[in-house]
């Protein structure tokens, strides 16, 4: 269990919410972790259970069906989910797509989607990456060509979180291919629209609980009113959301690093070799001491970043630095913890195996850590 006694980002309401999250997870997530991993998806019953408990999209305003809480409540859920060791796609809906709908959506779009997103009846995805365009989003080829009062969407996307479950997808597409980034828009495609097809639920190294899919758009016709935000400003809209997205990744990474550390401490104090516990060897103590110091620094930095974001002051380079530092720490902690487990750490029956697998991708998604360094360098 995460120790939050010395945290500075949260108040009593946040911690009361944490108690609720733990109770709901204990009933609906913990007993089903292996099932979610084996099936490669989290079923809708879990989404609805979280929705009933007020754990989905808590920042959505009351007039749009939510609770109108601050982003700190999202962070609490992310911490608990990551510490649990689940890669379920709840955080994408909480931290990313809900904000797109609330900030950019028309009254009609907000009324159509947000209440269902809060209740868990509507699951969302955002489709950016393509087979030929990852970090370079300006290189996307998916188009949404005007045809009267409609757009005709053609193209393909890949590595899309919640792709198998999604009821609606925010598609990044070029509405004017001649204008480059300025011709990019965000287009809403409902899953029951003719021409929309889901591909494979992709077989990944880790994060098996997160359904991650190929999506195909073959002459998908949607009304012009399905543009989310301003036409031609899709790339700008994406950039505006990066600080919160990257902070959310940092939050999850820090919690996962803490879980890896805790698992290593528990294992090494129980495991005996050469007449003593593994913990008593100097290498073990020094490794864990180093990790503990870095984790303490990490929690202090994370609380600073959360507080700054809550006040609307967290910059893109600061969020990028948080994503860089905390995901690097996550990998360091998970790799060191697995090593301290010895051969047992390579066995899936131990939590550290899943934590290690799941950690690898966090230095890639949300912008690779190499891109984070480039972003940070621009502020120097």
pLDDT confidence bin for 134, thresholds 50/70/90: low
The residue among 39 and 182 whose pLDDT is bigger is 39
* CA dist., res. 365 & res. 112, Å (int): 29
Contact 319, 246 (CB under 8 A): yes
Range(s) of the domain holding residue 70? 12-122
Same domain, 64 and 143: no
* CA dist., res. 112 & res. 100, Å (int): 14
User: Is 315 contained in some domain?
Assistant: yes
Last residue of a domain, one of 171, 202, 231: 231
pLDDT greater than 80 at residue 181: no
pLDDT greater than 70 at residue 15: yes
pLDDT (0 to 100) of residue 147:
96
pLDDT confidence bin for 57, thresholds 50/70/90: very high
* CA dist., res. 245 & res. 251, Å (int): 10
User: Is 3 contained in some domain?
Assistant: no
Last residue of a domain, one of 101, 122, 143: 122
Q: Are strands 124-127 and 168-174 parallel, antiparallel or unpaired?
A: parallel
Same domain, 113 and 130: no
Tens-digit pLDDT profile for residues 76-97: 999 999 999 999 999 999 999 9
pLDDT (0 to 100) of residue 78:
99
Cα radius of gyration (the chain): 21
Percent of the chain's residues with pLDDT above 70:
99
pLDDT confidence bin for 136, thresholds 50/70/90: confident
Would you state the structure tokens that stand for residue 113, as one six-digit string?
């989607």
Same domain, 101 and 147: no
pLDDT (0 to 100) of residue 137:
73
Instruction: Compute φ and ψ for 174, nearest 5 degrees.
Output: -95, 115
3-state helix, strand, coil in the chain (%, to 5): 55, 15, 25
Same domain, 301 and 371: yes
pLDDT (0 to 100) of residue 342:
98
Same domain, 249 and 347: yes
The residue among 202 and 5 whose pLDDT is bigger is 202
pLDDT (0 to 100) of residue 300:
98
Which CATH number fits the domain that encloses residue 40? 1.10.540.10
User: Is 195 contained in some domain?
Assistant: yes
The one catalytic residue among 37, 245, 263, 318: 245
Instruction: Judge whether 240 counts as a catalytic residue.
Output: no
Which CATH number fits the domain that encloses residue 213? 2.40.110.10
Last residue of a domain, one of 205, 231, 257: 231
Tens-digit pLDDT profile for residues 301-314: 999 999 999 999 99
Same domain, 118 and 129: no
338-345 average pLDDT score: 98
pLDDT confidence bin for 202, thresholds 50/70/90: very high
* CA dist., res. 158 & res. 130, Å (int): 5
pLDDT confidence bin for 11, thresholds 50/70/90: very high
Neighbours of 193 (CB within 10 A): 16
DSSP label of 230: S
């Amino acid at each position: 269990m995460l120790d939050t006694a010395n945290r500075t980002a949260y108040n009593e309401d946040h911690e009361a919410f944490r108690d609720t999250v733990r109770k709901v997870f204990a009933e609906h997530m913990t007993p089903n972790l292996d099932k979610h991993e084996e099936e490669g998806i989290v079923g809708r019953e879990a989404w609805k259970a979280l929705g009933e408990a007020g754990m989905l999209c808590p920042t959505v305003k009351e007039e749009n069906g939510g609770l109108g809480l601050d982003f700190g409540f999202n962070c609490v859920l992310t911490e608990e989910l990551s510490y649990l060791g689940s890669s379920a796609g709840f955080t994408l809906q909480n931290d990313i797509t809900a904000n797109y709908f609330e900030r950019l959506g028309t009254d009609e779009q907000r009324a159509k989607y947000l209440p269902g997103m809060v209740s868990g009846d509507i699951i969302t995805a955002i489709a950016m990456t393509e087979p030929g365009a990852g970090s370079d989003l300006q290189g996307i080829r998916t188009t949404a060509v005007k045809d009267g009062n409609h757009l005709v969407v053609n193209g393909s996307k890949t590595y899309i979180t919640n792709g198998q479950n999604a009821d609606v997808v925010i598609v990044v597409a070029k509405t004017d291919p001649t204008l480059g980034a300025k011709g990019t828009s965000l287009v809403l495609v409902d899953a029951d629209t003719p021409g929309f097809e889901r591909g494979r639920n992709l077989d990944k190294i880790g994060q098996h609980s997160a359904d991650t899919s190929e999506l195909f758009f073959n002459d998908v016709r949607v009304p012009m009113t399905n543009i989310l935000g301003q036409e031609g400003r899709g790339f700008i809209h994406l950039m505006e959301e990066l600080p919160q997205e990257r902070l959310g990744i940092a939050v999850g990474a820090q919690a996962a690093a803490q879980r890896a550390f805790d698992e290593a401490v528990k294992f090494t104090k129980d495991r005996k070799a050469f007449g003593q516990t593994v913990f008593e060897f100097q290498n073990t103590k020094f490794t864990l001491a180093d990790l503990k110091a870095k984790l303490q620094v990490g929690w202090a930095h994370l609380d600073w970043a959360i507080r700054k974001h809550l006040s609307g002051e967290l910059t893109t380079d600061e969020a990028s630095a948080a994503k860089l530092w905390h995901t690097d720490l996550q990998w360091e902690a998970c790799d060191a913890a697995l090593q301290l487990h010895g051969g047992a750490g390579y066995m899936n029956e131990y939590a550290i195996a899943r934590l290690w697998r799941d950690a690898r991708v966090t230095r890639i998604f949300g912008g690779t850590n190499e891109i984070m360094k480039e972003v940070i360098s621009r502020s120097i």
